A and B are shown apart, each in its own frame.
Chain A
Amino acid sequence: EAQVTQNPRYLITVTGKKLTVTCSQNMNHEYMSWYRQDPGLGLRQIYYSMNVEVTDKGDVPEGYKVSRKEKRNFPLILESPSPNQTSLYFCATGDRFHNEQFFGPGTRLTVL
């Protein structure tokens, strides 16, 4: 079954404590992306990756890092989380034309 998985699904943490949200896909897609969704602001792209070792900034990259060492994985790293990073995060993947993206189930992050 084609899947995009995210872990953890829910996380409560404190300011400054480094965390990683994992994203994995089994569809052999080149394109992967991270979004955050906040009330009234819709979905905003954080980072995207066109292929292994190729990443680029989206609209709101500040405070986040990503890496793409393998095709199937695209972790989102918050080196020093702050309360304004409290949000619902989605990972998405797409084929080389990525007009259709497949989204993960989301990770709800709360930073105290």
Chain B
Amino acid sequence: LAKTTQPISMDSYEGQEVNITCSHNNIATNDYITWYQQFPSQGPRFIIQGYKTKVTNEVASLFIPADRKSSTLSLPRVSLSDTAVYYCLVGYSSASKIIFGSGTRLSIRP
């Protein structure tokens, strides 16, 4: 399973765009990249998933360069409610074992 590396914490302000980068140098050919959001004392919540290039949904975008050794979660116009821990996971659908990294603690200020 590919190990991921993320910044421990990030700070930003309401209305700004936030980009969180995840490094996964050992990503395998079949691996997908998945991001989760977790609020205190709640279970993680799926945000977005991608394999290559760019994926966008109603809450975020995910940018994956051609070599796939990193990925960037982009949160447009953040609000205070986006304050949470964000986890990047790398794995293949049939890889049953799941490894969550340390995550990035994002703090949004008024």
Contacts and interface: CB of A to CB of B under 8 A. Distances in A.
Contacts, number: 60
Interface string B85-100: 0010001011011111
Interface in B40-57: 41-46, 49
B76 interface: no
A33 interface: yes
Interface string A92-110: 1000111111111110100
Given A98-B93, A99-B93, A59 B99 contact: yes
Contacts of A48: 96-98
Interface in A45-61: 45, 48, 50, 56, 58-59
Nearest to B32: A99
A106 B42 CA distance: 7
Interface in B66-87: 87
Contacts of A104: 43
Nearest to B47: A100
A106 B43 contact: yes
Interface residues of B, number: 22
B102 interface: yes
Contact of B41 (A31, A50, A88, A100): A88
A65 interface: no
Interface string A34-74: 01000000111100101000001011000000000000000
Nearest to A33: B98
Nearest to B44: A103
Q: Which 3 A-B pairs have the closest CB atoms?
A: A103-B43, A97-B93, A43-B100
Interface of A: 4, 31, 33, 35, 42-45, 48, 50, 56, 58-59, 88, 90, 92, 96-106, 108
23 contacts: A31-B96, A33-B98, A35-B100, A42-B103, A43-B44, A45-B97, A45-B98, A45-B100, A48-B96, A50-B96, A58-B97, A90-B43, A96-B93, A97-B93, A99-B32, A99-B34, A100-B34, A101-B46, A103-B42, A103-B44, A105-B42, A106-B41, A106-B42
